[in-house]
Each structure stands twice: as C-alpha cells, then as structure tokens.
C-alpha cells in the first residue's frame, strides 16, 4: 500500500525521535510545530519529495538548531563544537541504522551546518533519502 508524504514524514519521525531526543537538549518536531521563539537545540523533520512506484523513494530534511554562543555586546557566534558533534552524531545514526522497519535510509548529500542569522542560531542539515517497498 502506498503512503502519502505526511504519512512517511510521521512514520520516520517516530522511528528517529527517541534517538534524536536523547542527543539534543530540546525536542524533535514535525514540520510546522517548533515554537517560534525556541532557544533550545530542536530538530525538525520535513518531507521534501517522493516518487510513487513499486518502490517508494524520496527525501526528507532533518534540521537540528543550535543556539549561537553569546560573546557580549549583542554579538553571537556559531557554536562550532556542538554543531560538529551533532553532524557526527547524525552521520553515525544514518550510516549505522539497523532498526527493522520498512524503510532503508541513505544520505542525500554531505551533512553540513548553515547560519540562521535572524534567530541567532545555526542548523545542522541532513538530507535523508529513503526507499520503501510498497505491498
């Protein structure tokens, strides 16, 4: 049976939420549910694209937000150490995924960190490709 993008996003969220929530000091959210003014390490999963066939394939984004370090005088800088830790964690999680499920995961591109200047945070971006056999 084929699934919609929303169903796939929710199922993968449930597969990964406990592992990600153990690593961050915030919460793992579905797209559109992160509090606007959060200053915690929150993660957000977003369905990006999918193809329907006998094998459903597609991609999701997981962004993990990391608050910048306040250096005084209303200035802040990237928390390089924490961003690198989270990049390494997500790489290991993706490459060593062994939980039995109907999904197979690979990286869609190199994990990287980007600036979100308006909120004085950076986010670790993971493009997660999936394959799912439809029955």
CATH assignment of the domain containing 11: 3.30.2000.30
Q: Which range marks the domain in which residue 23 is found?
A: 5-133
Parts of the chain with a pLDDT under 70? 134-135
> How many domains is the chain built from?
1
- Strand (E) or helix (H) holding 106: strand 103-107
CB 56 within 8 A of CB 124: no
pLDDT of 135: 62
CA pair distance 56, 29, nearest whole angstrom: 23
Bridge partners of 29, per DSSP, are: 44
Yes or no: say if 28 and 76 are a contact pair by the CB < 8 Å rule: no
Dihedral of CA atoms 103, 109, 110, 116 in degrees, nearest 10, equals: -100
CA distance linking residue 116 with residue 75, whole number of Å:
14
Q: Can you give the pLDDT at residue 134?
A: 66
Both tokens of residue 83? 């961003």
Q: Which residue(s) pair with 115 in the sheet?
A: 122
Q: What pTM did the predictor assign?
A: 0.92
List residues bridging with 58 in a β-sheet. 50, 130
pLDDT tens column, 38-66: 999 999 999 999 988 778 999 999 999 99
């Amino acid at each position: 049976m084929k699934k919609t993008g929303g169903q796939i996003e929710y199922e993968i969220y449930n597969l990964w939420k406990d592992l990600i929530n153990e690593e961050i000091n915030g919460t793992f959210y579905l797209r559109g549910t992160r509090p606007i003014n959060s200053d915690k390490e929150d993660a957000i999963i977003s369905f990006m694209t999918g193809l329907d066939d006998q094998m459903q394939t597609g991609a999701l984004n997981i962004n993990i937000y990391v608050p910048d370090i306040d250096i005084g005088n209303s200035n802040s800088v990237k928390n390089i150490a924490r961003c690198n830790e989270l990049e390494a964690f997500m790489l290991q999680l993706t490459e060593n995924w062994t939980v039995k499920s109907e999904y197979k995961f690979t990286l869609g591109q190199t994990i990287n960190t980007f600036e979100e200047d308006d909120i004085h945070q950076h986010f670790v971006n993971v493009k997660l490709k999936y394959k799912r056999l439809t029955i």
